Amino acid sequence: MCKKYHIDESHGLKHAKGTLARAQNLLKGFDNVSFEEHSIALYAAALHDMCDSKYSDVSISSYEIKDWLLSEGWSNEHANAVISIITTMSYSKLKNANLPNIYPDHRIWQRAYHIARHSDLLEAYIVSRCKLYNEQIHPEKSEEEHWAVVKTLFDNRVFKYVKDGWIFFPHAITIAEELEKEAIRCFDNKSLDWPEPSLDYTDSIFAYE
């Protein structure tokens, strides 16, 4: 789907793997997680940008994702849960909606929703991703202009995720604090470090039936 919808690397496979890895990490902080909840949280984390209005018609790409999940043996209920999560977890859309109840009600999958959503927000702390996307949408800007735009976005948005309550899982807050330090280092050194995500391939997600 990355190739089909021309999804650049800032929102492509590496980001999908990174979001998945963060969701795996967050899940370790919870007790009583069912296999279904575990799988829905991780698949939503991995697939969320395959259904992004920046790159595709969401009604079409969400249908394609659901069709693929069903072909992989998922039930209609669980496939619908993944689609419902990935089409409602966008920070920008949540913020712009300006609703009294910020988050939609996913009922028994609410925690899975927030795990996927938190994981995506944690990936936003990667300076290189933000700069890469800015270069994609504004190729006319200079290197210095790209850095200035990215720094402004981090100051006005990313570095406020915890303070503004978008990140609220205690263990996610701890991770965000470390990621903020790393982001500041990247800005100070104009570094584009973006380590390859480390996935746990022993996870049951890789044996979903």
Residue-range domain boundaries for the chain? 1-112, 124-195
The tokens for 103 are 């988050």
Which of 69-78, 102-111, 128-137, 199-208 has the lowest average pLDDT?
199-208
Q: Is the pLDDT at 53 greater than 80, yes or no?
A: no
Q: Is the pLDDT at 115 greater than 50, yes or no?
A: yes
The tokens for 67 are 């069709």
Q: Is the pLDDT at 13 greater than 90, yes or no?
A: no
Which among 94, 114, 105 is positioned nearest to 169, based on CA atoms? 114
The tokens for 109 are 């999958």
Model confidence at 57, pLDDT cuts 50, 70, 90, reads low
Amino acid at 3: K
Which among 169, 130, 152 is positioned nearest to 41, based on CA atoms? 169
Which among 32, 4, 2, 23 is positioned nearest to 14, based on CA atoms? 2
What's the pLDDT score for residue 11?
A: 62
Which among 123, 142, 127 is positioned nearest to 191, based on CA atoms? 127
Q: Is 138 helix (H, G, I), strand (E, B) or coil?
A: coil
Question: CATH homologous superfamily for 1-112?
Answer: HD-domain/PDEase-like (1.10.472.50)
Find the mean pLDDT for residues 1-24: 74
Model confidence at 112, pLDDT cuts 50, 70, 90, reads very high
What's the pLDDT score for residue 148?
A: 96
- Maximal CA-CA distance, the chain: 50
DSSP characters over 54-110? TTS-HHHHHHHHHHHHHHTT--HHHHHHHHHHHTT--HHHHHHH--SS-S---GGGH
pTM for the structure as a whole: 0.91
